[in-house]
Structure 1
Amino acid sequence: MNTELATFLDVLGIQSEPVGWAYEDEQPEGDNAPAQCCMPTLEQEKKGEADFSPAFHNFSCLFKHIRVMRLKGGTAWCSADHPGCPGGTQYVGYQKGPYDFIARYVTNGLPEGMETERYLDGPDAFKNLFGCMDPKPASAPYLAFRRVGDFAALGREPEFVSFFARPESMSGLHQLAAYLTNDAEVVASPWGPGCGNLVTWPRTYAATGRVRAVLGGWDPSMRKFLDMDEIYMTVPLRLYHDMLERWSGSFLGSSTWNNQRKKIARSHAKKK
């Protein structure tokens, strides 16, 4: 981690290095990825030929692998052949969607007696929101997640950067994004699964040409892979660079933020 980033994180009271991510042509180093598995296509499902049992037998939430990477370093990755999750592989662009099965599983559309997530009121509601999310096709065979410093060590840059922090620190990132863009709606927090707010929505917003930061961490199914009270914000690379270069001219260099830093310190002490 370089000095510029270390200083910025210290001011915010963020204790973990941000995670960068990018689509890449070559298989990333290491084996911190979901197991190899063949995921059915949307066309197979429409024909009644889809078999999801291998996918669920090899189920592995992307956030589990990101958690390991955050703690131990290295690279977490996924691909069309290493999907991890029938929903996740569509959100990150390796399968066209939405699967009807996932639309029923996420809502309340499976047969009585089968447990569903019930996050939305019916499969049609999910399909409408999936259309709003508009997951973009993956731009390369592999999606890699690393600490931002590890991207730099490889001589590469991520496409997006995700900060993981508790709300006291996240308030600084939230307000800083507005300071840098003069956009009252620069921070979005739409409905979505964990990987939807981490990957899908940031890519969808980026495709419009408008700079947006996306808050996530609201999906109860993946919160077990976050620290207590932790949420995350994903920003495009150019906003990340602006944050590092211009934060000192903002409220983060003021007495107001110094008072907030005292609360952040109490928050960390309480967490221990």
Structure 2
Amino acid sequence: MNSKLQSFLDILGITEEPVAWAYEAEKPDSDNHPPDCDMPTLEQEEKGRADFRPAFERFSCLIKHVWVLRKKGGAAWTSADHPGCPGGTQYVGFQKGPYDFIARYVSCGLPEGMETEHYLDGPDSFKSMFQCMDPLPAPNPYLVFRKVGDFEPLKHDPEFVTFFARPESMSGLHQYAAFLTNDAEVVASPWGPGCGNMVSWPRTYRATGRTRAVLGGWDPSMRKFLKTDELYMTVPYALYLDMIERWEESFLSTATWQGQRKKIARSAKAWGEE
């Protein structure tokens, strides 16, 4: 971890190096990925020939693989033939969407007897949300996650960086993003699944040409892969570079923030993470 990043994390009271990610052409040398699985196409679903049973039998949440990376290092990745779940592969751009099956699964409309998530009040609501998110096609075959420092020896930069923190530290990231951009709406926190707020929404916002930091971690289905009370924020790589360069100009160097650091210390003590 470089000294600028270390100083920035120290002032925020964050002890964990953030995770960065990018779409890459080459498969990483890592076994931290979802199992292989052939996912149905929209055309197959429209013709009544889509079988989603293998996808659920080989289900493996992308956020779980990020969690393993956070604990063990290395790389985590997913691809079209290692999709993890039928929703996730569409959110990160490896399949067109939305599946009607997923629209019913996320809301309350599966007649097959499978328990549904009831996160929205019907399939049409999900389809509207999905179109608003508008996941972009994957530009390369592999979506790869690493600790941000592990990108330094590579020939390319990451596209985005994701910080994990509890609210006491996250408040600093939230307010600091506004300091850097002079944009009152720079932090967005839209509805979405775990991978949607980590990957889909950041890419969609970038495509509009406006800088956005996306606050996520709200999806109850994936919170088992976060610490208690933990959230995450994903920022464009360019904003991340500004963050580690300019924090001493901001409120993070004031007595106000020093007071907040005392509460961060109490939080760390409460969770046995001093």
Alignment of 1:176-187 (within 5 A): 176-187=176-187
Match of 1:229 in 2: 229
**What aligned pairs does 1:137-148 form with structure 2 within 5 A after superposition?**
137-148=137-148
- For 1:259, the equivalent position in structure 2 comes to 259
In structure 2, distance between residues paired with 1:11 and 1:228: 22
SS in 2 for 1:265: helix
State the SS of the aligned residue for 1:158: coil
Match of 2:21 in 1: 21
Tell me the amino acid that sits aligned with residue 257 of structure 2. Answer: W
Amino acid in the other structure paired with 1:147: K
**In 2, distance between residues paired with 1:66 and 1:154?**
20
TM-score under structure 2 length normalisation: 0.98
Distance 1:168 1:223 in 2: 18
- Matched residue, 2:128: 128
How many angstroms apart in 1 are the aligned matches of 2:5 and 2:29? 24
Most deviating of 147-156 and 133-142: 147-156
The 1-side partners of 2:86 and 2:169 are apart by 33
In structure 2, C-alpha distance between the alignment counterparts of 1:54 and 1:232, rounded to whole Å: 30
Structure 1 residue runs without a partner (length 5+): none
SS in 1 for 2:23: strand
Structure 2 match to 1:269: 269
Distance 1:48 1:76 in 2: 34
CA distance in structure 2 between the partners assigned to 1:140 and 1:112 by the alignment: 35
Equivalent in the alignment of 1:158: 158
How many residue pairs get aligned? The number is 272
SS at match of 2:39: coil
Q: Pairwise mapping of residues 172-251 of structure 1 onto structure 2 (< 5 A)?
A: 172-251=172-251
Match of 2:50 in 1: 50
- Over the residues paired in the alignment, what is the CA RMSD in angstroms? 0.8
Cα separation, 1, equivalents of 2:219 and 2:12: 24
SS at 1:115's partner residue? coil
Q: 1:120-175, CA deviations, whole angstroms, 9 ceiling, x for partnerless residues?
A: 00000000000000000001000000000111133431100000000000000000
SS at match of 2:131: helix
CA shift, 1:114, in A, is: 3.1
Question: What is the letter of the counterpart of residue 178 of structure 2?
Answer: A
Percent identity over paired residues: 74
After the TM superposition, which parts of structure 1 deviate over 2 Å for at least 4 consecutive aligned residues? 153-156
Structure-1-length-normalised TM-score: 0.99
